[in-house]
Chains A and B, each alone.
Chain A
Amino acid sequence: MSIDLSFLTRVAPTLAEGLSTTILLAVPAILLSATWGIVVVMGLLSRFRLVADIARSYVEVVRNTPVLVQMFFIFFGSGFAGYPLSGFTAGLLALVLQNGAYMAEIYRGGIRGVSHRLAEAGLALGLTPRRSFGLIVLPIAIRNVIPPLSNQGVLIIKDTSLVATISVAELTFQARLLADRTAAVFEIFFTLALFYLVLTAIFSGCMRLLERRLRLA
C-alpha cells in the first residue's frame, strides 16, 4: 500500500468541510459545557439539600452512562416526543449535558483544592465570605482548573466524532463516506487521525498559553 499524495489533495476539500463542522460543533460544546458546569457546581455546593441532591443525581447518572447512548436517546427520542431535533442540536445537547457534569466536578475539585486557610485569611482581613470567595479563592481555583479543563476540552473535541452516527457531516462522517467511495482507506484514515491530532494540539497549545498568561497576571 503506497501513500498517494495527489489523492490527498483531492479529498482535502471534503475533509475540510467536515473539519469546519467539527469546529462548529466543538467550540460551542466546550463553551456551553464550561458555562453549564458552573450552574451545576453551584447546585452541587448549594445549601439547600434538595438542590444538591438533584445536582448530585444528575452528575452521577450522566457520568455513568456513555455519551453515545445519550446522543441516541436525545436524537431518536426528540422525534418521537414530537419535537425532532437535528443531529447537530441533539449531539450538542448530549455533549453539553455530559461534559457539563464533568466540568462541575473539576470546578468542585478546584475550589476544594484551594486551602481554606486562604479563605479564612480573607475573613480575617474583614472581607465577607462572599467577597473572600470571589476575590481570593476563585482566582486561584480558576488557575488550578485550567489543566484539567484543557483535558476535558480535548475529550470534547474527540467526542464530536460520535455525532457522525446521528448524521452530522463532521470530519469522521466525511472520511467514512470517502473511504466507502474509494479504496484508499489507509490514506483517508491516516489523514483523519492527523486532522484530529492537529486540532487537539492547537487547542492544548492555546490552553497552555492561557494558563501562562493567567499565572503572570
Chain B
Amino acid sequence: MELLVKSLPLLAHGAATTLYLSAAAIVFATALGLVLALLQLFGGLILRALVEVYLYVVRGVPLLVLLFAMYYALPYADIQIEPVTGGIVVIGLYFGAFMTEVFRAAVLSVPKGQWEAARTLGLTTPRILLDVVFVQAMRVAGPPYINTCIMVVKGTSLVSIIGLADVTFIGKQIVERTLAPFEIFGAVAFVYFVICFALSRLGRHLEWRLNYVP
C-alpha cells in the first residue's frame, strides 16, 4: 500500500499525459468527424467515395497497427514526426471515422419535414444546418458521441506500446520495477475509470439539458 503512495507522483505524471493525449485526440477527432460527415452528406460523388474508402480502411485496421505504422514506418519515408504528435494524429484519425458515423446518423435522424419546412421559409442549407438541424441532431448524437470519446480515452492506452509515457506505460514500468501488479495496475485502471466515468456523467448531464422540456 505504501508502495502505491510512493508511486503516486509518477502515476500522476502519466495521468496528466493521458489526459492531454485524450483531450487533443478528442478535439481532432471531433473536428475531423464533422468535416467528413458534412462531406458524406453534401459532397459530390468523388468526395463521398473517398470518405467511404477512408472509413472502410480505418474501421477495418486495428489502432495498434496504425500506431506502429506511424512510429516505425514513417521514419523510413523520411517523415519525421514527434511520437506524441503522431500519436494524437493517429488516434484522432482513427476515432474521427467513428465520429463521422455518429454525426452522419444524427443529421439523418432529423425528419425530412424539418428540412422542407425550413426551405419553404427560404433558409439556405448552411443556415438550416446551424439553426434547425444542429440542435435536434445533437440530441441524437449526444450519447454515441460521449461513448466514442470514452473509446478515445481508452485508446490512448495503446501509446504505451510505442513507448510514450502515459499512465499505462508508467504503470507497467513501476510494476516491472516493484513486481506489484495488482496495486499498480489497479491504480492505473482507476485513473481511466475516473476519467471515463466523469465523461459519461457529463454526457448524461448534457443529454438531460438537451432534452429538458419545461
Interface residues of A, Cβ cutoff 8 Å to B: 1, 60-61, 63-70, 72-73, 76-77, 80-81, 154, 158-159, 161-162, 164-165, 172, 175-176, 179, 183, 185-186, 189, 192-193, 196-197, 200-201
**A72 contacts B73, CB within 8 Å?**
no
Residue of B nearest to A79 (CB): B181
Which one of B61-69, B102-110, B118-126, B131-139 is at the A interface?
B61-69
Determine, out of B25-33, B35-43, B153-161, B206-214, the stretch whose residues face the partner at the interface: B153-161
Given contacts A80-B179, A189-B65, contact A66 B192 (CB under 8 A): yes
Of B63, B72, B172, which contacts A72 at CB under 8 A?
Answer: B172
* Contact of A80 (CB < 8 Å), options: B65, B73, B158, B181: B181
Q: 18 new A-B pairs (CB below 8 Å) besides A66-B155, A185-B72?
A: A61-B189, A68-B157, A69-B188, A72-B172, A76-B185, A77-B182, A80-B180, A164-B64, A172-B62, A172-B68, A186-B73, A186-B76, A189-B73, A196-B60, A196-B62, A197-B57, A197-B61, A200-B59
> Roughly how many angstroms separate A161 CA and B61 CA in the complex, as a whole number?
10
**CB–CB B181/A64 < 8 A:** no
Residues facing A in B137-172 (CB within 8 A) are 150, 154-155, 157-158, 160-161, 168, 171-172
Q: Does B34 touch A at the CB level, under 8 Å?
A: no
From residue B158, how far is it (CB to closest CB) to chain A in Å? 6
With the chains together, A196 CA to B181 CA distance in Å?
32
Q: Which residues of B contact A162 (CB under 8 A)?
A: 62, 64, 158
Q: What distance in Å separates the Cβ of B142 from its nearest Cβ neighbour in chain A?
A: 16
Q: How many residues in B have their beta carbons less than 8 Å from beta carbons of A?
A: 40
Q: Is the CB of B185 within 8 A of A72?
A: yes
Interface contacts (Cβ under 8 Å), in number, total: 115
Listed A/B pairs (28) with beta-carbon separation below 8 Å: A63-B150, A64-B192, A64-B200, A65-B189, A65-B196, A66-B154, A66-B155, A68-B158, A69-B168, A70-B189, A73-B185, A80-B179, A80-B181, A80-B182, A158-B63, A161-B62, A162-B158, A164-B64, A175-B68, A179-B72, A183-B76, A186-B73, A186-B76, A193-B66, A196-B61, A197-B60, A197-B61, A200-B59
Of residues 171 through 193 on chain B, the ones whose CB sits less than 8 Å from some CB of chain A are 171-172, 175, 179-182, 185-186, 188-189, 192-193
Q: Are B73 and A185 in contact (CB under 8 A)?
A: yes
- Tell me the nearest residue of chain B to A67, going by C-beta: B154
The secondary-structure label for the interface of chain A is helix
Q: A70-B189, A172-B68, A179-B72 are in contact. Are A154 and B150 (CB under 8 A)?
A: no
CB-based contact A185/B154 at 8 Å? no
Complex CA gap A77/B186 in Å reads 10
Residues of A within 8 A of B168 (CB): 66, 68-69, 72
CB of B150 within 8 A of CB of A189, answer: no
Please, how many angstroms separate the alpha-carbon atoms of A162 and B157 in the complex? Answer: 11
A-side contacts of B72, CB under 8 Å: 179, 185, 189
